[in-house]
Structure 1
């Protein structure tokens, strides 16, 4: 049996074509450097080895038509070497698909699975789907869900669908609704939280978000779905803006931490919910309405997992 040595790529200078304008540089590099771990891509971005028009850029930079991207030499995987995604996870994600057509996949993402590799993870949902759908060469995440949040997640199979949905997300064309189990009695009259959010990175590299006047505008509309005495409330959350950790931080700001939230939660409340069997973050993207390019509308709902359902059942009985 012979083994081949992984190759090291040479420096590439790539001119961005018009159809890729608006894409984040990290996602652009994922496609250029097929199979290269996302951790390595972020490392070369962080070190300033990737240049656009001879200047340094951040991972969130959006490339423009005509940009000249300098891609440094990186070690490439062996030809056709697949992302090592466990078979059990592949089957689980395949079973989680709630909608698929020639341009779009929507799945009910399980809690605990990251949407993409990075931060010590070799793979996430998008890497798994590139293995599940090898003929779909343009697979990209349309949006993101936190690793511990479950629910409806969109993956575009075509660049045209990705652009269409990004345009819809920037406007008010997409309606995303979440369910959250929060501490205490959420007042019926408390229908929205309008508080600016500021992102910061801790020394450990962990990302935290806080309400801060210097942050970006953020608005979440809430609605009470069900009460469990004064102990807990099930609320619907509809984020009007799409900031990182928005619902989690806005719920905390309103005085009602989400159960199972290790970053912004309440330890005592989380412990009590865990004692009922709820060993997860109780935030679930359950409903989605998106406009389709042909003028139609896609409406989807995703059920909660068994752990969530059983915990709520036990909570009702207490």
Structure 2
């Protein structure tokens, strides 16, 4: 029984010119972008047998292609079925295309700025079928490359989302976000009034155990990640609620929500971290009131992107009911004060000690798993055997150690220096302690046998007659 032939691509040699967006990328990554239906194994075989040429020369999978070079691709190429291959995206409906276009605030050759509505996820996941990433197919016809996300917002958070339109612009924007040079301004309605009107919350954050990473918590045990948030109170509605501006100085998951709940002022509608206290009475919406209001970031061409997103309907309605006016909220963006050098040194030392503790903890766990005692090379006894060995082991007597017989003793502090000549006293020696006599008489040693007297040398003399 013969096997079914593999699906192949084109049956003729193809040539592609490397574009600006693919400049200085590996050849295998170039194939993944331009010909995703060709598997990595096929690309490796073509490169190994010399069928792939870059400007007429042989190339390996790790060869970096440059703008303007011509890549020769041989005919064929197996299409990998299953989840490892390129999944075909379903075409968007007219309603989805209209939704994607309605979110656009600004766009140019490098980026598209969207205003994400609340309730729409940024990326897909388990049980999530409609998200911003899936709606980006609506902009594929306008550019050669598919737009890609650079950062994310929570599902229930609304506001500014930046989407890069090329690989180079995505790398540029990602570097600005990770380098903390991009400024993000959030608006939020919180429960209660903070005592400090303008402050910085600095509390480490880690994943809460037992939640599968879906919930975060404040962790001051030394294992949490550092997180800093600046807040400014814009206005207040009596003692029940306040309108605040939030600036995340670090980018931890759920950072703003965790920090505001930690100081006793959860975001209105955030039942995940604020519980029942996060909901106001009356006709105030129960949706979360957290909005990414403004984004200021550098542009790849040297300009500055500074865009503001309008409020969603439920947020604007709550603002009106509480007596807040939107025009009072756009405060000036203050420059971030540099962190003192001593503080940075302390943080570096703290991070180093944290890593050292982790390594030591790992070593102790390895010893415990192997059953080796920390003080010796043998296995540590457990159970009844350990009890029996402890009973047979010689017991140590507690208390001060007794002086050895015959050792001199001295009381008082040691004299410093030499006494003067006139006051010189004879040295006094402490007699050695005598050994106690035994009651039994000492056994006498047997006398050594006497030897015969030595005979005189020479011949014997005769008797006198």
Q: Is TM more than 0.5 here? A: yes
How many pairs are equivalent?
A: 260
* Partner of residue 309, structure 2: 302
| Cα distance change of structure 1 residues 305 and 158 upon mapping to structure 2, 3 Å threshold | same
* Partner of residue 100, structure 1: 107
C-alpha contact (below 8 Å) 2:120/2:130 kept by paired residues: no
Task: Select the structure that is richer in strand.
Answer: 1
* Partner of residue 292, structure 1: 299
* Partner of residue 439, structure 2: none
Deviation per CA, 1:47-98, whole angstroms, max 9, x where unpaired?
A: xxxxxxxxxxxxxxxxxx95xxxxxx65269999543655334312311211
Distance 2:209 2:25 in 1: 29
1:187 has 2:227 as partner: no
Which structure is larger by alpha-carbon Rg, 1 or 2?
2
Normalised by the length of structure 2, the TM-score is 0.50
Distance 1:225 1:146 in 2: 23
Structure with higher RCO (Cα < 8 A, 6+ apart):
1
Distance 1:196 1:118 in 2: 27
Within the candidate set 223, 230, 250, 1:221 is matched to 230
Within the candidate set 272, 284, 290, 1:283 is matched to 290
Show structure 2 runs of 5+ residues with no match. 1-6, 8-21, 27-31, 38-60, 63-79, 325-465
C-alpha contact (below 8 Å) 1:259/1:266 kept by paired residues: no
1:270 has 2:279 as partner: yes
Distance 1:224 1:283 in 2: 14
Normalised by the length of structure 1, the TM-score is 0.72
Deviation per CA, 1:198-228, whole angstroms, max 9, x where unpaired?
A: 024635x461111102111100010111101
Distance 2:232 2:198 in 1: 8
Moved over 4 A (4+): 17-21, 29-34, 76-81
C-alpha contact (below 8 Å) 2:198/2:230 kept by paired residues: no
* Cα-Cα RMSD: 3.3
Deviation per CA, 1:122-155, whole angstroms, max 9, x where unpaired?
A: 2310111123434542421110000000000001
Cα offset for 1:119? 2.1
3-state secondary structure, aligned to 1:191: strand
Distance 1:140 1:193 in 2: 32
